[in-house]
Amino acid sequence: MTRAAWLAFLLTAAMPAAAVEIDGHLAPGEWDGARHITDFVLVQPMTGAPATWRTEAWVLATPEGLAVAFRNEQPPEVPRTTQRTRRDQGGQLDRINVMVDFDGDGRTGYDLMVTNVGDVSDEVITNERNFSTDWDGVWQHAARQEADAWYVELLIPWHVAPMARPEGGVRTIGLYLDRVVGSTGERFGWPDISFQRPTFLSQFAKVEVPHFEQSLLAVTPYVVASQDFVGDRADFDAGADLFWKPNGSFQLAATLNPDFGQVESDALVVNFGAVETFFGDKRPFFTENQGLFDFGFGVGNSRLLYTRRIGGNADDGSGAADVRAAIKLNGSLGATRYGVLAASEGDDAGRDFLALRATRDFGAHDLGGMLTRVDRPFLDRSASVYAIDDRWVPAPGWNVASALVLSRIEQAGTTTGDSGFQTRIDWEMGEGRRQQLYFLHLGDQLQLDDFGYLDRNDFNYLRYEFAQRRTGLPESSPFASHEWRWAASQRRNDHGLLIANAVAVNRVSERRDGGSEFFDIGVWSRGHDDRITRGNGVVRVPEKVFLFWERSRPRRGHWSLYGWASANAEGLDGISGMGLELGFEPTLHISDTLSLRGEFALQRIPDWLLWRGGNLLGSYDAEFARIGANLQWRIGDRQELRVRFETIALDARAEQAWRVAGDGRPLASNDPLSDFSLAQMGLQIRWRYELAPLSDLYIVYGRGGFTEQADSRSLAQLLGDATDLRDADQILIKLSYRFSN
């Protein structure tokens, strides 16, 4: 295309911008000049065959934002899911997804989902295929249904995310579009890629659009009033968030006395292990455009920056720390993207947090760096972490992601430091086959938990996995596809001690009823547990076996179902001490706007090994139960009522005490062990009224409690006692309103 023709195309694409009205009606001429996409293919199951039902999309860059429209054919004989959901609830629904990487570099993407009845979810995509619903953006959407098709229009403002300034007035974005049929589970996507593969975000279609910029200034003050019925005291709090984006390549967010997610609640957890429980963040300031700082390192939830540390338990043990203020910058200088996050806590035990992040795409290599620092004067401690990461694509189908991390801790005049390294090599071999090799090294003095989250250090891990996907299953089969995965791994600490060798096989299956099925079998060799005694000795442990199965089925009539079963052998008795857990979560859809989900789980652990202090361990015969209910009622488009109730009961009967010998052998001991039992309850009733986008009025009632006793009681008695617990009992009213230009 000549330069003159290219400029004419851009002008033509930009001209109809003012005519786009986000109302769900694709008016004649409204989408003239847009890119028209019709070649959607089956990506779930991942066959690459043409979409079962015609799906069309239009994409148009306008001065107001990136506009996208869908027309989805769905004849009356194909059932539609029409239940209403709250924001980010998700589920097996008829829906479309628009996923955009505004810089086209495969670093950060944004997923905007709209159902056929107009409910939404928005997520940030990082590390190729990690989706987080913690982020809520401001964007327009509308949905409309007809007898043979349904329609969606949406508009994503250019100020929704930080973007590098392109050269020549043309922006190259990464784009992925898909549509899901809720009753069958089929997903039609464009291009032919999938988040089930190791590489997803970097494979988005590269689309050139005219470059537009938008400025935005938004201030969101909030006030909270609460009454504590247990402490008989009233409280009032206020704060504000500020967001300023003067141009496309720079944005600033600041907060004073930030909102600490007072209207949210974490799930109840019972944790007697050596690994800290991980919780996601729910505070608006710390979730807004946080994708650049998402630096995964290690296994599980391990990462360099864990924002729940800010405002977490104070260093003097007085409870949650008070955050005075925080600031976050995101921007770009040429091809380099950068971010700065700083926060300061008040009081004598307050901490100061700083994180710096920069990335740059060099073609085959995408290189980044990160620095975090935490000053903790109450502990006379400062912690710094330095990291670099690289993603290398040496050839099509190959992806090599590596990271090097260094930590330096200064405390009371003593300095310690160590390093960690990881690399993951993925190879898409074609015909549904892939391989992955992963190596992780964590030095025994590597410390990331001042600002990050690391489930353990002193660790070396090597894992190989081979996967094979099968999609050409007979029509008579209840399954649409299977993906088998076989893996072998070795775990040692950094001093060469064998923790375990392991093999595993699992299968992920998509069913023709729109549901899914998964099972996993893992076997660990005999080895050592070097964490259970919290540094008071290494324990020899026998073989371990892990079995897990789960099944989900989307709504049929008034019911949708989810259930699971697991069997584990983790104690000193090995396989003979196998425990069993059963769980079931049925959902009754009373109407499209009102649903009630039950939660039932029962577990028996005949050989539960717990740390009892020093080098003393105890084996227990334990029973665990969880019962809960979650009512969700959408009262029109602006109101919702949510009632969440959850109880936990645990009864543990002492069986045998053990002392850990110098060579790691557990020796039976006559140390006294007592039975114990506990009960926990949480109740939240929350009413929300949406005044405007990201502007809400909440009225929340919460009650909860926890009790632990040195005796054995039946689960039925414990669950009954849990309903009387009242350690916390309060009502809260919160008002927040976003003012913007």
Q: Read off the pLDDT of residues 186-199 as tens digits, 9 standing for 90 and up.
A: 999 999 999 988 88
The sign one gets for the Cα dihedral 590, 591, 596, 601 is positive
Q: Residue 375 — very low, low, confident or very high, per pLDDT cuts 50/70/90? A: very high
Query: Residue 679: what are its φ and ψ, rounded to 5°?
Result: -140, 145
Whether residue 16 has pLDDT greater than 50: no
User: For 469-520, what is each residue's pLDDT tens digit?
Assistant: 999 899 899 999 999 999 999 999 999 999 999 999 999 999 998 899 999 9
Integer CA distances (angstroms), 246 to 171, 249, 344, in order = 18, 8, 25
Q: Residue 171 — very low, low, confident or very high, per pLDDT cuts 50/70/90? A: very high
Least confident among 65-69, 331-335, 685-689: 331-335
pLDDT given at position 260: 58
Whether residue 541 has pLDDT greater than 90: yes
User: For 120-155, what is each residue's pLDDT tens digit?
Assistant: 999 999 888 888 887 888 899 999 999 999 999 999
- Identify the CATH number of the domain defined by range 3-214: 2.60.40.1190
User: For 283-294, what is each residue's pLDDT tens digit?
Assistant: 878 887 788 898
Distance (Å, whole) CA 343 – CA 310: 7
Distance (Å, whole) CA 590 – CA 98: 30
pLDDT given at position 259: 63
pLDDT given at position 381: 97
For residue 559, what are its two tokens? 């019911």
Average pLDDT over residues 336-340: 92
Average pLDDT over residues 210-232: 92
Distance (Å, whole) CA 55 – CA 179: 8
Q: Residue 640 — very low, low, confident or very high, per pLDDT cuts 50/70/90? A: very high
Whether residue 458 has pLDDT greater than 50: yes
* Model confidence, pTM: 0.87
Distance (Å, whole) CA 241 – CA 39: 43
Q: Please work out, in degrees rounded to the nearest 5, the angle formed at the alpha carbon of residue 347 by the alpha carbons of 344 and 349.
A: 85
Q: Please work out, in degrees rounded to the nearest 5, the angle formed at the alpha carbon of residue 719 by the alpha carbons of 716 and 721.
A: 110
Q: List, in sequence order, every beta strand (DSSP E) within 525-664.
A: 527-529, 539-541, 544-556, 559-569, 579-584, 587-589, 594-611, 616-635, 639-660
Residue indicated by tokens 């009967």: 653
Query: In this structure, are residues 9 and 1 in contact, taking their beta carbons and an 8 Å threshold?
Result: yes
The pLDDT > 70 percentage for the chain reads: 97
User: For 243-280, what is each residue's pLDDT tens digit?
Assistant: 998 887 888 999 988 765 567 777 888 888 888 888 88
Computed on alpha carbons and rounded to an integer, the radius of gyration of the chain in Å comes to 27
The pLDDT > 90 percentage for the chain reads: 74
Which of 224, 228, 258, 266 has the alpha carbon at shortest distance from 241?
258
Which of 592, 548, 518, 659 has the alpha carbon at shortest distance from 93?
592
Whether residue 430 has pLDDT greater than 90: no
The sign one gets for the Cα dihedral 498, 499, 504, 510 is negative
Q: Residue 5 — very low, low, confident or very high, per pLDDT cuts 50/70/90? A: very low
Q: Residue 10 — very low, low, confident or very high, per pLDDT cuts 50/70/90? A: very low
| Of residues 333 and 389, more confidently modeled | 389
The mean predicted confidence, pLDDT, of the chain is 91
| Of residues 335 and 218, more confidently modeled | 218
Whether residue 9 has pLDDT greater than 60: no
Structural element, H or E, at residue 7: helix 3-14
Q: Please work out, in degrees rounded to the nearest 5, the angle formed at the alpha carbon of residue 236 by the alpha carbons of 233 and 237.
A: 140
Whether residue 333 has pLDDT greater than 90: no
pLDDT given at position 402: 96
pLDDT given at position 697: 96
Q: Residue 364 — very low, low, confident or very high, per pLDDT cuts 50/70/90? A: confident
Task: Compute the 3-state secondary structure of the chain and give helix, strand, coil in percent, each to the nearest 5.
Answer: 5, 55, 35
The DSSP output letter for 410 is E
638: helix, strand or coil: coil
Query: CB neighbours of 268 closer than 8 A, spacing ≥ 6?
Result: 626, 646, 648, 680, 681, 682
Domain coordinates in residue numbering, the chain: 3-214, 250-260+276-455
**AA identity, residue 10:** L
Q: List, in sequence order, every beta strand (DSSP E) within 116-169.
A: 120-126, 130-132, 140-145, 149-156
Whether residue 4 has pLDDT greater than 60: no
Average pLDDT over residues 103-123: 92
Integer CA distances (angstroms), 129 to 98, 106, 123, 466, in order = 15, 10, 11, 19
Whether residue 587 has pLDDT greater than 80: yes
